[in-house]
């Protein structure tokens, strides 16, 4: 369910909105304590908007968007009020509070209190649409969580008891339960706990869901293939989950192979995975499904995200290894930059992709065509350069210095390898301390060359594990060499 409430900057409007959300939370099964905390957090945010975001002498309207699912309630407060300095709110440090005066004098107390009463608090700037505050509260859905407490007789399954097939709508609830059994509520993509969301996703042309189901209709595992607009033509194999009850039957490999074959039948050029390096099992599954490493995404997302089950987490941010397999006879058309030609050739050989080197040149356009994406939750920025232009260097330099991007720790720059000005772009990006970290072939618009810029966090090579280090550690060697050159010697 999705709702939109339009409120004015009048404190009298807050009470009806709170009453509605309170009734919704009670209906969705939140405990009295959780409900009260959520209302207090929402009241604080709405009060701040009404009292401080607008000129009190005039009437203004702002929107409250409510999304209700079986696994969470999300509230977005969107308004065109005075800008809010989010960095100030983040300065609050509870360890420095020794008296009432300490609490009063520190900035960000209100935001800190709100963050302690919800599962997620986020601020976003939306350009001409103003800014929004996002509050999320997870729901321990009885339909999902009660499954954990069911008393079941011991069952001993064999591989012959399991059937892997395309997702069926009737399996949605059991798929959500499988995810819950494996991860509790620690899984990053929390929308997958919602059976309705799974059904909606399965109907999309850019999504393929495969399930492993036992002979007694128990869902043993799931894997989801997703095609993004920016990488149209290839599909990511992700959200691979196997219930603990069924581990040891090699279901992860069976699901991966089934999805790979289904992606091939769909007419895509290839399949790729992003495997976190602290979880070697996912890398081995990729290798067994015929995928090979083609690059790394260093310091990609915060260590706190999604990996609570693993004991080996140490760094502030986690690194991923990209694995890829071509599933057509398509030959890649690329310009081969002299700066990294030896590495690029070796990657294409490793992933068994044929390529043809282009030589035709053209005049360098004055301006780039760029698509920029930000994810403040992951402190991640992604830049797709659709056309390389002469203004690439000043764009990158400005992007890295803008105060609104201060929270971004890692930048990923994607360059199309069929652009005749690829070498120029690499040279300009390296002036801004970007590092070449690999390629991603097969998209409809061309193969992608990946460069990264990381700030304020160390990348520790020893913590970046590989399933087959004998064959693939060289890919990390050249990344480490450039990383040390930038971060230890301070040279470009």
Same structural domain, 127 and 149: no
Inter-residue contact 307 to 278 (CB < 8 Å): yes
In the prediction, which pLDDT does 103 show?
Answer: 45
Query: Which CATH number fits the domain that encloses residue 375?
Result: 3.40.630
In the prediction, which pLDDT does 292 show?
Answer: 97
Same structural domain, 234 and 317: yes
Beta-sheet pairing, 207-214 with 120-125: unpaired
Same structural domain, 8 and 128: yes
Structural domain range at position 410: 361-464+471-487
- Tokens for 35? 């409900």
Same structural domain, 315 and 190: yes
How many structural domains are present in the chain?
3
Same structural domain, 388 and 425: yes
Residue 262 resides in a domain: yes
Q: Check residue 473 and report its DSSP letter.
A: H
Same structural domain, 307 and 266: yes
CB atoms near residue 101 (< 10 Å): 9
Same structural domain, 81 and 66: yes
Query: Which CATH number fits the domain that encloses residue 27?
Result: 3.30.565.10
Query: Which CATH number fits the domain that encloses residue 148?
Result: 3.40.630.30
Residue 455 resides in a domain: yes
In the prediction, which pLDDT does 447 show?
Answer: 98
Q: How far is CA 55 from CA 7, 58, 76, 130, 230, in A?
A: 15, 6, 21, 15, 41
Cα separation, 392 vs 427, whole angstroms: 10
Query: What parts of the chain have a pLDDT lower than 50?
Result: 87-89, 92, 97-98, 100, 102-104, 106, 149-151, 153, 306-311, 491-492
Cα separation, 492 vs 482, whole angstroms: 9
Same structural domain, 377 and 322: no
In the prediction, which pLDDT does 256 show?
Answer: 95
Cα separation, 64 vs 62, whole angstroms: 7
Same structural domain, 134 and 170: no
- Tokens for 249? 């039957």
In the prediction, which pLDDT does 98 show?
Answer: 47
Residue 279 resides in a domain: yes
The three-state secondary structure class of 87 is helix
Cα separation, 230 vs 425, whole angstroms: 19
Looking at 302, 326, 350, the residue that finishes a domain is: 326
Angle at 327 between CA 326 and CA 330, to 5 degrees: 70
Same structural domain, 127 and 163: no
Q: Is 462 left (phi over 0), alpha (psi -120 to 50) or beta?
A: alpha
Same structural domain, 299 and 194: yes
In the prediction, which pLDDT does 455 show?
Answer: 76
In the prediction, which pLDDT does 149 show?
Answer: 44
Residue 203 resides in a domain: yes
Q: Which residues contact 326 (CB under 8 A, 6 or more apart)?
A: 269, 270, 351, 352, 353, 441, 442
Residue 212: φ, ψ to 5°: -110, 120
Same structural domain, 249 and 264: yes
Residue 438 resides in a domain: yes
């Amino acid at each position: 369910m999705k709702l939109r409430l339009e409120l004015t900057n009048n404190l009298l409007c807050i009470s009806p909105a709170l009453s509605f959300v309170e009734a919704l939370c009670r209906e969705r099964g939140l405990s009295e304590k959780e409900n009260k905390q959520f209302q207090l957090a929402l009241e604080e945010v709405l009060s701040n908007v009404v009292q401080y975001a607008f000129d009190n002498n005039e009437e203004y309207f702002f929107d409250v968007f409510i999304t209700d699912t079986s696994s969470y309630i999300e509230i977005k407060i969107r308004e065109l009020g005075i800008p809010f300095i989010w960095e100030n709110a983040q300065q609050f440090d509870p360890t420095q509070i020794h008296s009432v005066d300490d609490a009063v004098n520190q900035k960000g107390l209100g935001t800190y209190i709100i963050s302690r009463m919800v599962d997620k608090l986020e601020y976003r700037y939306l350009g001409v649409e103003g800014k929004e505050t996002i509050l999320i509260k997870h729901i321990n859905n009885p339909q999902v969580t009660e499954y954990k407490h069911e008393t079941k007789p011991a069952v001993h399954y064999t591989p012959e008891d399991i059937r892997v097939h395309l997702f069926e709508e009737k399996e949605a609830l059991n798929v959500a339960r499988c995810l819950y059994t494996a991860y509790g509520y620690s899984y990053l993509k929390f929308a997958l706990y919602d059976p309705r969301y799974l059904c909606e996703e399965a109907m999309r042309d850019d999504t393929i869901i495969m399930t492993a189901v036992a002979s007694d209709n128990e869902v043993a595992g799931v894997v989801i293939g997703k095609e993004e607009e920016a990488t149209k033509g290839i599909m990511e194999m992700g959200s691979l989950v196997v219930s603990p009850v069924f581990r040891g039957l090699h279901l992860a490999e069976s699901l991966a192979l089934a999805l790979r074959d289904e992606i091939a039948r769909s007419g895509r050029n290839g399949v790729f995975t992003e495997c976190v390096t602290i979880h070697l099992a996912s890398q081995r599954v990729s290798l067994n499904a015929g995928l090979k490493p083609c690059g790394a995404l260093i310091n990609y997302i915060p260590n706190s995200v999604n990996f609570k089950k693993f004991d080996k987490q140490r760094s502030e941010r986690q690194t991923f290894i990209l694995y890829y397999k071509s599933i057509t006879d398509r030959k890649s058309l690329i310009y081969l930059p002299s700066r990294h030609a030896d590495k690029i050739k070796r990657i294409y050989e490793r992933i068994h992709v044929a390529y043809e080197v282009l030589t035709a040149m053209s005049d360098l356009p004055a301006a780039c065509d760029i698509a920029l994406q930000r994810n403040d939750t992951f402190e991640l920025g992604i830049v797709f350069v659709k056309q390389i232009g002469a203004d690439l260097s000043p764009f990158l330099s400005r992007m890295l210095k803008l105060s609104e991007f201060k929270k971004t720790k890692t930048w990923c720059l994607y360059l199309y390898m069929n652009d005749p000005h690829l070498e120029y772009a690499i040279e300009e990006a390296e002036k801004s301390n970007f590092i070449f970290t690999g390629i991603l072939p097969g998209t409809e618009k061309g193969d992608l060359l990946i460069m990264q810029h990381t700030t304020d966090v160390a990348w520790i090579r020893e913590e970046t594990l590989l399933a087959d280090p004998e064959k693939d550690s060289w890919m990390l060697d050249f990344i480490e060499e450039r990383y040390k050159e930038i971060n230890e010697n301070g040279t470009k």
